[in-house]
Amino acid sequence: MKPVKNRSMKSYLLNLDTQRSYSSREGEHLKILNFLDKDGPAGGVLLGDTLYPFAELSKISDVFKSFQITDDVIASNADQNDIDMIVEESKSKLRGRPIATTKILAPVLRSGKILCIGVNYMEHAKESRQKVMEHPTIFCKFQDSIIGNMDDITVPKDAKQIDYEGELVVIIGRSSGTAESSIFGYTIGNDVSARDLQFRTSQWLLGKALPTFAPIGPVIVGKNELGFARDLQIITRVNGTVRQNGNTSDMIFDVRAIVDYLSGYFNLGPGDIIFTGTPEGVILGLPENERVWLKHGDVIDVSITGIGTLTNRIN
């Protein structure tokens, strides 16, 4: 692999506008997100390229009056199909705002648990020369690992082998112990990994759970739209060059199996998130003489069918 050319700040800022208009190219799935309003974090519904804040939606339906941010929706008993119907039927009466001029925040702000599944794609297991396990490999990240779309990834000075892992992320709603009832929806994640720190010992935590090492976003798409996410394309680009191009159908443990398994050991609750593993194409999977690790200024885009694109830069 040839070293990629670093894009200029101008290109990065142009990419910001391009990525924020992803929704119109991803169909008309209704999505929810958090954004920075004048008084702080707020939530809203995104339809096409227009954001309808919960505060605006509360004017036409009591359903939205108790929602300040997306976490409130996730923890509620609100029916996703009802929300979709209300927005669709009332959007002509609402005052929306263009998403292109809105600062998007992480789609979950109060996550209790951030669980991650390692080596969960067959081809990724082969490229990383890892044994396919009988049970899922589990690790975790911390609350300060979470950042949102367009936020920078901060790397420790002594970490030299920085890698990307584009992933589908499951958002847990009001759990009753099974995947059928526990999954609220999905977002996009990047399981940023410092390989030199990850493999310093047999425990991966140091290289996986650092601050800013869990970008997620930009939006959440409900389970009512994507079901169990069995056939979604995941594409990761670095500075515009495709590095990963996989599909959730290659998962060793699919979404239903993962949630059912974790529910047997953890008390999953609203806002808990699960990184479900990455497809082949990571830097670690290349021959040593072809590995070009991420560096300052590199821009990573992770795109998933029906959800959109998550963009972050190495700082």
pLDDT for position 28: 62
Clarify whether residues 300 and 189 are in a common domain. yes
Which CA distances in Å does 113 have to 57, 103, 171? 30, 25, 11
pLDDT for position 114: 98
Which CA distances in Å does 121 have to 40, 84, 124, 253, 298? 39, 32, 5, 8, 25
Which of 74, 105, 136 is a domain's end point? Answer: 105
Clarify whether residues 169 and 288 are in a common domain. yes
pLDDT for position 5: 36
Which of 85, 105, 125 is a domain's end point? Answer: 105
Cα 308 vs. chain centroid, distance in angstroms?
A: 10
Give the residue from 110, 105, 112, 314 showing the smallest Cα distance to 213: 314
Tokens of 164: 């990307």
Clarify whether residues 85 and 119 are in a common domain. no
Cα 116 vs. chain centroid, distance in angstroms?
A: 12
Q: How far apart are CA 51 and CA 193, in angstroms?
A: 33
238 is a domain residue: yes
Which of 105, 132, 150 is a domain's end point? Answer: 105
3 is a domain residue: no
Clarify whether residues 285 and 142 are in a common domain. yes
Clarify whether residues 135 and 78 are in a common domain. no
Residues 241-250 as b/e (b if ≥16 CB within 10 A, e otherwise) read eebbebbbeb
Number of domains present in the structure of the chain: 2
Give the residue from 205, 214, 207, 206 showing the smallest Cα distance to 193: 207
In tens digits, what is the pLDDT along the chain, a chain of 315 residues? 333 333 333 444 444 444 443 443 444 678 999 999 999 999 999 999 999 999 999 999 999 999 999 999 999 989 999 999 999 898 889 999 999 999 999 999 999 999 999 999 988 878 877 777 889 999 999 999 999 999 999 999 999 999 999 999 999 998 767 888 899 999 999 999 999 999 999 999 999 999 999 999 999 999 999 999 999 999 999 999 999 999 999 999 999 999 999 999 999 999 999 999 999 999 999 999 999 999 999 999 999 999 999 999 999
Clarify whether residues 149 and 226 are in a common domain. yes
Clarify whether residues 100 and 14 are in a common domain. yes
Clarify whether residues 167 and 270 are in a common domain. yes
Give the residue from 248, 79, 308 showing the smallest Cα distance to 173: 79
Tokens of 63: 């359903």
Is pTM beyond 0.85 here?
Answer: yes
Task: Please report, to the nearest 10 degrees, the dihedral formed by the alpha carbons of residues 183, 184, 190, 196 taken in order.
Answer: -40
Question: What is the residue range of 151's domain?
Answer: 114-314
Clarify whether residues 91 and 137 are in a common domain. no
The domain that holds 143 is classified in CATH as 3.90.850.10
Clarify whether residues 223 and 269 are in a common domain. yes
The domain that holds 45 is classified in CATH as 2.30.30
pLDDT for position 133: 83
Cα 84 vs. chain centroid, distance in angstroms?
A: 21
pLDDT for position 9: 39
